[in-house]
């Protein structure tokens, strides 16, 4: 009675015998539903206050959010920041915040040169205010 739902296994693995690591999807496990995704850019000067990109939303609740920051000069590395989280790089702090009405992404000056923070964000149906 407890072994039902939708399961998808990796190639060449029988879905009826697949272990958790051999499954690509199992409906009995928690899965994040993406409500919105998008991009933002922050131009950050060499010094001064933290710079922000703010995106309004009308979800009616505070959603979970994850953002990946790619800083100018970094060709292959993206830095993740989660809801109310902070990533610190080589002098740069990147933040992602969510409220009941907006998403706010921030980046701090590094004290030596200006840079651009390119952001890809994902907003989930999972509430962080519940």
CB 42 within 8 A of CB 106: yes
pLDDT per position as a tens digit, 6-53:
889 899 999 999 998 898 888 888 778 899 999 999 999 999 999 999
The reply to whether 25 and 38 lie within a common domain is no
Q: So what's the pLDDT on residue 72?
A: 83
In a domain, 130, yes or no: no
Beta carbons within 8 Å of 41's beta carbon, 6+ residues apart:
53, 116, 117, 118, 119
Decide: helix, strand or coil at residue 7: strand
The reply to whether 62 and 114 lie within a common domain is yes
Say what the alpha-carbon torsion angle 40, 41, 42, 46 is, to the nearest 10 degrees: 160
The reply to whether 7 and 21 lie within a common domain is yes
The reply to whether 46 and 11 lie within a common domain is no
What does the alpha-carbon distance between residue 65 and residue 32 come to, in Å, rounded to a whole number? 10
Distances (CA, A) of 111 to 9, 45, 70, 91, 104: 49, 9, 18, 8, 22
Task: Report pTM.
Answer: 0.74
Q: How many domains does the structure of the chain reveal?
A: 2
Range of the domain at 26: 1-31
CATH of the domain at 60: 2.60.40
């Amino acid at each position: 009675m407890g072994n039902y739902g939708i399961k998808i296994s990796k190639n060449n693995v029988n879905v009826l015998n697949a272990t958790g690591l051999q499954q690509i999807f199992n409906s009995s496990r928690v899965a994040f539903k993406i409500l919105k995704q998008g991009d933002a850019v922050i131009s950050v000067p060499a010094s001064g206050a933290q710079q922000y990109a703010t995106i309004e939303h009308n979800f009616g609740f505070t959603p979970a959010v994850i953002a990946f920051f790619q800083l100018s000069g970094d060709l292959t590395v993206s830095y993740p920041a989660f809801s109310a989280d902070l990533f610190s790089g080589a002098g740069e702090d990147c933040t992602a915040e969510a409220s009941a009405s907006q998403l706010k992404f921030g980046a701090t000056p590094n004290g030596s040169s200006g840079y651009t923070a390119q952001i890809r964000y994902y907003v989930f149906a999972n509430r962080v205010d519940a």
